[in-house]
Amino acid sequence: QQDQWLRPLLAGEIRSTYAMTEPQVASSDATNMQLTIVRDGDEYVLNGRKWWSSNIMHPNNEVLITMGLSNPEATRHQQHSMVLVPRDSDGLEVVRCVEVFGNYHSPAGHGELKFTNVRVPVDNIIMGEGQGFTIAQGRLGPGRFQYAMTNVGMAQRMMELMCARADQREPFGRKISEYSSVRQDIARARCSIEQARLLVLKAAAEMDKSGAKGARDYISMVKIIGPKLAQDVAERAMQVFGGKGVSGDTPIADMYVTGRLMRIADGPDEVHMNQLAKFTMAQVELQRQAGTGGIDWFGD
């Protein structure tokens, strides 16, 4: 597997697709996937559908990392597996390229896929049967953290563009940076960016110390605030730029769309807020039972 797929991927010679999300189930729960992976002799047979499969349209795409239901009688977190499916496999159909806000994201794109009796060698399984959820979590946790870093970087860039525009634009003989409303937009953007940056650094420290599982509350936090930060700063930057801000002449519109997309990708805001609230309530309850923490409970 490493010689055939991993090394060419690391060298940038080929591209891959992560095929997890499915159209018929709530795919924010990684235990919901229904595409079937059934062993038949020395092969696995795959049947089902996927969508939002990234990079599927890229001309250099050669392999799909595909999650499916392989052990339905096992416990919930051991029911799924990951297998490597060559892009040119018989029975693998790209139903359509899925638009994102009217954009096909060429040349990589996102696709809807149909698997009809797709056969791959048993050697194409990753880490053995029943390891799909573990692999997914290993990818999704750090991936959500990466989203937060990306959004902080985008917000920083948009703030810089906003400052330059405010200093250069002089409608009616007066720089727009002299207007208090524009200065407030810049100040709010700066405060929000620095707050998010500090939380991302805190999350990084927790990941280094405890791993992705130990830092899952912080990962949820940065996944929640990062995309919203990019959206908020983009809104302010668009107002400062006017019509130019929503055109393709600056990266602001694309960054706004990216931030909005990331509020859904790898788990929507609501899922992460629900998990974070449950985790926080459990932590506070443990503190209450231990008599620690900063909350005055006024008795029971």
Give me the phi and psi of 151, to 5 degrees please: -70, -40
**What residues form DSSP beta bridges with 65?**
18, 84
**Would you state the pLDDT for residue 107?**
75
Question: Is 298 among the domain residues?
Answer: no
CATH number at residue 238: 1.20.140.10
Among 71-80, 125-134, 141-150, 179-188, whose mean pLDDT is lowest?
141-150
Q: What is the mean pLDDT of residues 1-8?
A: 89
Distance (Å, whole) CA 75 – CA 68: 15
CATH number at residue 97: 2.40.110.10
Residue 123 shares a structural domain with residue 249:
no
Residue 231 shares a structural domain with residue 259:
yes
Residue predicted with more confidence, 82 or 173: 82
Is residue 146 scored above 50 in pLDDT?
Answer: yes
DSSP letter for 248, please. Answer: T
Residue 268 shares a structural domain with residue 186:
yes
Is residue 294 scored above 80 in pLDDT?
Answer: no
Is 0.85 topped by the overall pTM?
no
Residue 144 shares a structural domain with residue 195:
yes
Last residue of a domain, one of 129, 147, 167: 129
Is residue 295 scored above 90 in pLDDT?
Answer: no
Last residue of a domain, one of 74, 103, 129: 129
**Would you state the pLDDT for residue 293?**
64
Q: How many CA atoms lie within 13 A of 277 on its CB side?
A: 6
Residue 31 shares a structural domain with residue 137:
no
Residue 112 shares a structural domain with residue 195:
no
What does the block give as tokens for 158? 């948009």
**Would you state the pLDDT for residue 288?**
82
Residue 147 shares a structural domain with residue 278:
yes
CA nearest 121: which of 62, 67, 45?
45
Question: Is 169 among the domain residues?
Answer: yes
Is residue 232 scored above 90 in pLDDT?
Answer: yes
Question: Is 225 among the domain residues?
Answer: yes
Among 1-5, 200-204, 287-291, whose mean pLDDT is lowest?
287-291
Residue 174 shares a structural domain with residue 272:
yes
Q: Which pLDDT band, with edges at 50, 70 and 90, does 299 fall under? A: very low
Residue 17 shares a structural domain with residue 112:
yes
Residue 184 shares a structural domain with residue 70:
no
Residue 88 shares a structural domain with residue 202:
no
Is residue 298 scored above 50 in pLDDT?
Answer: no
Question: Is 296 among the domain residues?
Answer: no
Question: Is 278 among the domain residues?
Answer: yes
Q: How many domains does the chain have?
A: 2
Q: What is the mean pLDDT of residues 174-191?
A: 95
Question: Is 295 among the domain residues?
Answer: no
**Would you state the pLDDT for residue 140?**
73
Question: Is 154 among the domain residues?
Answer: yes
Question: Is 300 among the domain residues?
Answer: no
Last residue of a domain, one of 102, 129, 156: 129
Inter-CA distances, 232 with 62, 79, 155, 259, Å: 37, 40, 9, 9
Residue 139 shares a structural domain with residue 268:
yes
Structural domain boundaries enclosing 237: 133-290
CB-based contacts of 124: which residues, under 8 Å, 6+ apart?
1, 44, 83, 84, 85
Residue predicted with more confidence, 286 or 107: 286
Percent of the chain with pLDDT over 70: 97
